Amino acid sequence: MKTIVAPSILSADFAHLADEVKKVTAAGAEYVHVDVMDGTFVPEITIGAGVVKSLRKFTEAVLDVHLMVEHPETQLESFAAAGADIITFHVEATRHPHRVIQKIHELGCKAGVAINPGTSLSAIEELVEDADMILIMTVNPGYGGQKFIESMLGKIHMLYHMIEEMETECDIEVDGGINAKTSELVREMGANVLVAGSAIYGAADVAQAIEDIRGEEIIHHHHDD
């Protein structure tokens, strides 16, 4: 399984965003991860659809929008129109997560569903078949630079098997505290889309940091446990 690296611009210099995006895409990153926070679902406020629209004109990279907002259903049109490729919302933020997936698809985007560390996998079990991606948060959302929560490894592994058992296709994205070391742990568990903010933008050599996070390709063997 080929690993996709998604640098989070949350750790970039917002005064030079275009250059900061170019820096990571030129270094081989496939996705650009955009953290949208509303000051309610999480304490801080970050960026909105206007920024996505400006970035869209500037890059052909996949724009991976992570909505950390209440009532995500109210934001889908703006982000799709702005040029998002993937829209990921939190299962904790809406009463009708399946309808949100349908709406994202109608708007022509890929749909991701994120779950917080404290939310059980059962909350997304019925969504796996229709979602394009499940985002397992490996920190509590809200800030860059937090410590990876090791106990999430079992959850990633369980999701990997759930997808396998359902004989469906669904990417497993992880977000929070990912660096060269934790990358290896999550990739072994089956994660294939790796978000990293501080480990990439904080590195002296960005291309090296991306390659370290990508690591060696891991071959997963099917088994029945």
Contacts of 133 (CB under 8 A, 6+ apart): 86, 88, 110, 111, 112, 113, 170, 171, 172, 173, 193
What part of residues 120-159 is at the interface with ligand DX5 (CB under 6 A)? 139, 141-146
Of the residues 19, 35, 132, 171, only one is catalytic, namely 35
Quick check: is 175 catalytic? yes
Catalytic residue among 132, 171, 175, 212: 175
Contact flag: residue 10 with ligand DX5 (CB under 6 A): yes
Binding ligand DX5 (rule: CB under 6 A), the pick from 65, 67, 104, 178 is 178
The one among 27, 47, 128, 195 contacting ligand DX5 by CB under 6 A = 195
Q: For residue 4, which phi and psi values (nearest 5 degrees)?
A: -100, 130
Write the DSSP assignment of 118-184 as a string of letters: TS-GGGTGGGTTT-SEEEEESS-TT-SSPPP-TTHHHHHHHHHHHHHHTT---EEEEESS--HHHHH
- Minimum CB separation of residue 68 from ligand DX5 in Å reads 6
Whether residue 167 contacts residue 31, with contact meaning beta carbons closer than 8 Å, is answered with no
Among positions 30, 55, 66, 80, the unique one binding Zn ion when judged by CB under 5 A:
66
Please classify residue 204 by burial: count the beta carbons closer than 10 Å to its beta carbon, then call 0-12 exposed, 13-18 middle and 19+ buried: exposed
Q: Which residue has 């920190």 as its token pair?
A: 139
Binding piece for Zn ion, criterion CB under 5 A, among 125-133, 154-162, 165-173, 175-183? 175-183
Report the residue closest to ligand DX5, judged by CB.
197
225 flagged as catalytic: no
Contact code string over 55-74 relative to ligand DX5, x by CB under 6 A: -----------x--------
- List residues binding ligand DX5 (CB under 6 A): 8, 10-11, 33, 35, 66, 139, 141-146, 175-178, 195-199
| Catalytic site positions | 35, 175
